[in-house]
Amino acid sequence: MKKLLASTILTGVLAFGTAASASEVVETVDPGTTPDEFLFTFDQLFEELKLLVTFDDEKEAQLLLEFANERLAEATAMSEEEKTEFVQQAFQEYLEALEAAEEKVTEVIVEEQTDSEGEDELTEELENVSEVKDELTEELEDELKEEVEEATEKAKVVANVVKGLDQEMVSQLREQELGYGQIAQIFWLAEAAGKTVEEIASLYTEEKVGFGQAAKQLGVHPSKMKGLASGKKQASEEETDEEAETDGSEEGTEEAEQPGEAAVTEDENEDTTSTEQTTEQQVSVASASTTETKTNTKNSVTKAEEKKAEAVKKAEEAAKKAAEKKAEAEKKAEEQKREAAKKAEEKRQEAARKQEEAKKNKQKQEEDNDEQKDDDSDEDSN
Residue 95 scores a pLDDT above 90:
yes
Q: How confident is the model at residue 247 (pLDDT cuts 50, 70, 90)?
A: low
- Output the CA torsion 229→230→231→233 (10° steps): 90
Q: Is residue 39 part of a domain?
A: yes
Q: How confident is the model at residue 260 (pLDDT cuts 50, 70, 90)?
A: very low
pLDDT in tens, 293-317: 555 555 555 665 666 676 667 667 6
Q: How confident is the model at residue 223 (pLDDT cuts 50, 70, 90)?
A: low
Determine contact, residues 100/64, Cβ cutoff 8 Å: yes
pLDDT in tens, 3-33: 444 444 444 444 434 333 333 443 446 666 7
Q: Which residue has the higher pLDDT, 20 or 200?
A: 200
Say whether both 118 and 213 belong to one domain: no
Q: Check: pTM over 0.75? Answer yes or no.
A: no
Q: Is residue 188 part of a domain?
A: yes
Highest mean pLDDT of the ranges 57-61, 220-224, 270-274, 344-348: 57-61
Determine contact, residues 140/91, Cβ cutoff 8 Å: yes
Q: What is the pLDDT of residue 30?
A: 63
Q: Is residue 244 part of a domain?
A: no
Say whether both 1 and 86 belong to one domain: yes
Determine contact, residues 49/18, Cβ cutoff 8 Å: yes
Say whether both 205 and 158 belong to one domain: no
Last residue of a domain, one of 234, 260, 280: 234
Mean pLDDT, residues 21-46: 67
Q: Is 194 left (phi over 0), alpha (psi -120 to 50) or beta?
A: left
Q: Is residue 250 part of a domain?
A: no
Say whether both 59 and 171 belong to one domain: no
Say whether both 137 and 26 belong to one domain: yes
Q: Is residue 350 part of a domain?
A: no
Burial class of residue 173, CB neighbours in 10 A (0-12, 13-18, 19+): buried
Sign of CA dihedral 27, 28, 30, 34: positive
Q: How far is CA 345 from CA 270, 305, 339, in A?
A: 110, 59, 10
Report the C-alpha gap between 124 and 70 in whole angstroms. Answer: 17
Lowest mean pLDDT among 5-9, 127-131, 372-376: 5-9
Phi, psi of 196 (to 5 degrees): -85, 160
Task: Identify the DSSP state of 367.
Answer: H
Q: What is the pLDDT of residue 367?
A: 83
Q: What rounded mean pLDDT belongs to the chain? A: 74
Residue 231 scores a pLDDT above 60:
no
Last residue of a domain, one of 234, 259, 290: 234
Last residue of a domain, one of 201, 234, 267: 234
Highest mean pLDDT of the ranges 34-48, 67-81, 272-286: 67-81
Say whether both 76 and 155 belong to one domain: yes
Q: Is residue 249 part of a domain?
A: no
Q: How far is CA 221 from CA 29, 144, 214, 344, 346, in A?
A: 30, 19, 10, 58, 58
Q: Is residue 34 part of a domain?
A: yes
Q: Is residue 15 part of a domain?
A: yes
Number of domains into which the chain is organized: 2
Say whether both 135 and 33 belong to one domain: yes
The domain of 171 spans 166-234
Say whether both 70 and 132 belong to one domain: yes
Residue 191 scores a pLDDT above 50:
yes
